[in-house]
Amino acid sequence: MFSFLKNWFGKDEEELKKQLQEEVALDVHELSDAEADFEKEGHAEEGTASARVHTELSLHPIWEQELDAQKKYTLRFLQAELPDMPKGMVSVTGFSMIPQPNGLTVTMFFRNSLDKPVRFKHVRLAIYLDDKPFARMRVDLSEMGAIPARSSRPWEILFPEESFLHDNFTFKRWKVVMKAGKSTHVWPKFLEIDAEMEKRMTERQKDRLEALAHSLPPIPVDTVEVTGFDIAMANDGRLVAGLLFRNGAKEMYSPDKLHITISDQDGDVVARGSVDASSIQVKPGSIRPWVVVFPPQAVKKPNANLRRWVLEVK
């Protein structure tokens, strides 16, 4: 506990202010009952551009007991540097990230601009490095207790190595993002590679595929999205394309047949055909690569420039 204190050694107030990262806010209506509890009386406030809320520091009883006056002053100082919040919002702002032997310890302010307490339960948190996702996991915040009205509560969370999406720690800035259960988009996370395909792939190819899979934006709930990730024209006239299936639905995605069209940057059709897709099975919340091969007779433009290409799957 209190790993963030390591980041305070020898720093003055100006240096400490630089520890504060970008704030990411959510409208309270986006949080499901499984993610947060609010007082039963009244209704959640509506956020408006003109209604701004100043928050005060709220420490968990254990933090209140364990931290000395100087450390409490520093937390109060950091919290006072945070901007006023729109009314009816909750937010998260990171201010310390420290590598550990088994992961990363991240300390952040959970903020509440409502006129009543909020108690977080199970929420999805993600770490972004330079606006790219680095780690994601669902966190049980019940021990943090209720955050009083118009308050900010500091809390420390360990992101274990298994929550990492890659091992590239090179970055200039970072932030913590809180995802809401009622949001309209989901982020398929688990990359599954067919055993036969994996045997033919080098470690570099697998690393590249994993990095691509986790750099793609979220997709609408209850949809399946197909993204092209590699393409090449073989010497014998065949066109080989790598496709990445992402399943944002709650059921297994298992199509019988797919109609695939590939066009070049000029809009000309390069290849088109129907393929047997019965071997594709993508679990909910998962990502699966698949390779499709167009025979020479299905290739309409063998001399196409494929530096940029467009994929259409029906």
Please report which confidence band the pLDDT of residue 228 belongs to, taking 50, 70 and 90 as the band edges. very high
Close Cβ partners of 142 (under 8 Å, ≥ 6 residues apart): 119, 120, 121
CA–CA–CA angle 127, 129, 131 (5° rounding): 95
Instruction: Return the residue matching tokens 């997709």.
Output: 219
**Rounded (to 5) percent helix, strand, coil in the chain:** 20, 40, 40
In the prediction, which pLDDT does 210 show? 82
Residue ranges matching CATH 2.60.40 in the chain? 190-313
Cβ count near 29 (within 10 Å): 13
C-alpha pair distances (Å), 178 with each of 30, 126, 181, 268, 301: 11, 7, 10, 42, 46
State pLDDT tens for residues 64-87. 999 999 999 999 999 999 999 988
Dihedrals phi, psi of 267, to nearest 5 degrees:
90, 0
- The residue type of 4 is F
Q: Alpha carbon 157 to chain centroid distance? A: 16
Lowest mean pLDDT among 56-60, 83-87, 201-205, 242-246: 201-205
In this prediction, residues 81-106 reach a mean pLDDT of 93
State pLDDT tens for residues 268-297. 999 999 999 999 999 998 999 999 999 999
Instruction: Return the residue matching tokens 């088109």.
Output: 272
Rounded to whole angstroms, the Cα distance separating 261 from 273 reads 7
Close Cβ partners of 288 (under 8 Å, ≥ 6 residues apart): 191, 192, 193, 194, 244, 245, 247, 280, 281, 282
Q: Tokens representing 101?
A: 């032997």
Name the fold adopted by 190-313.
Answer: Immunoglobulin-like (2.60.40)
